[in-house]
Amino acid sequence: MMTTVGEVMTATLLTVEPSTGLAEAAERMNDRGVGAAVVLSGDTVSGILTERDVLRAVATGRVERTLVAAWMTRDPETIDASATTSQAAAIMIHGGFRHLPVVDGGKPVGIVSIRDLMRVAVEDEAPRGA
């Protein structure tokens, strides 16, 4: 049986709004130990803010008084919770990104990362020396 995205996603989603300050969003990502925040407008996914986006902002020296909206990736790819982990991996590899918001009926329910997918891929493998 194929593993679904819903089975491996992180359901405790860190969400921010486009009007959230970038520094605040980065602080919340750091506090939660996550590499991405889903940007919501109402209850719709309007963007995603990743570590790479924050790094780009820092590199240009434009973090203070700037908003998530200026740096997020707008209208990101999403995947349905019922999709397979193989489908998620194909989308992420093709798109060149490491986080994918998960939706159910169009509403955000979680996020899946490359790390989540790797865990599925290697769960049958024993670590070296084990």
pLDDT at 29: 97
Q: Give residue 87's domain range.
A: 5-122
pTM of the model: 0.89
What count of other Cβ atoms lies within 10 Å of the Cβ of residue 8? 19
Question: Residue 88: exposed, middle, or buried by beta-carbon count in 10 A (0-12, 13-18, 19+)?
Answer: buried
Q: Does residue 9 lie in a domain region?
A: yes
Q: Which amino acid is at 128?
A: R
Question: Per the domain annotation, does 130 fall within a domain?
Answer: no
- The domain that holds 63 is classified in CATH as 3.10.580.10
* Any domain includes 128: no
Q: Is residue 19 situated within a structural domain?
A: yes
Question: How far is residue 1's CA from residue 5's CA, in Å, rounded to a whole number?
Answer: 13
pLDDT digits (tens, 9 = 90+) for 81-92: 999 999 999 999
In total, how many domains does the chain have?
1
Q: Quick one: tokens of 124?
A: 């049958």
Asked whether 34 and 26 are in contact (CB, 8 A), the reply is no
Asked, for residue 48, whether it belongs to a domain, the answer is: yes
User: Is residue 31 one of the residues assigned to a domain?
Assistant: yes
Tell me the pLDDT tens digit for each residue of 45-84: 999 999 999 999 999 987 888 999 999 999 999 999 999 9
Alpha helices in the chain (DSSP H): 5-8, 22-32, 51-59, 68-71, 85-95, 114-122
Task: Evaluate whether residue 46 is within a structural domain.
Answer: yes
> Hey, what are 111's tokens?
């996020």
Within a domain: 53: yes
